[in-house]
Amino acid sequence: MATALFDIPVHRLDGAPDSLAPYRGSVVLVVNVASACGLTPQYESLERAYETYRERGFVVLGFPCNQFGAQEPGTSDEIAEFCSAKYDVKFPMFEKIDVNGPARHPIYATLVAEQPEASESDDTFRKKLEGYGVKAARPDDVLWNFEKFLASRDGRVVGRFAPAVTVDEPLLRDAIERELNA
């Protein structure tokens, strides 16, 4: 399954057909993103990590998703404008997709199959969501916006990180470093 991730068809944010094949050989962080979420400021740290590590073969791939609180309602053009104007995002962005349910995009079907459970620094965010009555329908479902999947240079999913875990936290930062040094 390691190379399957790179072979799955996707569309860029501008609608152009593509795949993740150009990222084969890179350490890849796949993130479902949203423009109107309390976690949206993570765009800053994601972009910073991309800029910091990209010369070493690291890339962040953003997949907008509107499945959590309708927090990504925009069109592709609106999303691109928001990311550029507000956070100066330069990492690759792809079309808006579903990450859960019957219309789950094949990228996420592959990611979830390889890493069915997310690592958390603590379960505060999960408990906060449960306080609002939000629970994953299935144990392996993506919990919320900004959940992160880390894939090795050969496309194996080596980590999954809860939405509140940022790339600045040792849990994720150390995993990225480990893969870059592998």
Chain Cα centroid distance, residue 138: 19
DSSP string, 140-164: TS--STT-EEEE-TTS-EEEEE-TT
| Helix residue spans in the chain (DSSP H) | 4-7, 42-53, 76-87, 106-114, 124-131, 170-181
Radius of gyration (C-alpha) of the chain in whole angstroms: 15
d(CA 114, CA 24): 17
Burial class (CB in 10 A: 0-12, 13-18, 19+), 74: middle
DSSP β-bridge partners for residue 61: 30
Count Cα neighbours of 88 within 13 Å in the Cβ-side half-sphere: 6
- The catalytic residue among 5, 10, 37, 83 is 37
Dihedrals φ, ψ of 108, to 5°?
-75, -30
Q: Is 37 a catalytic residue?
A: yes
* Residues classed as catalytic: 37
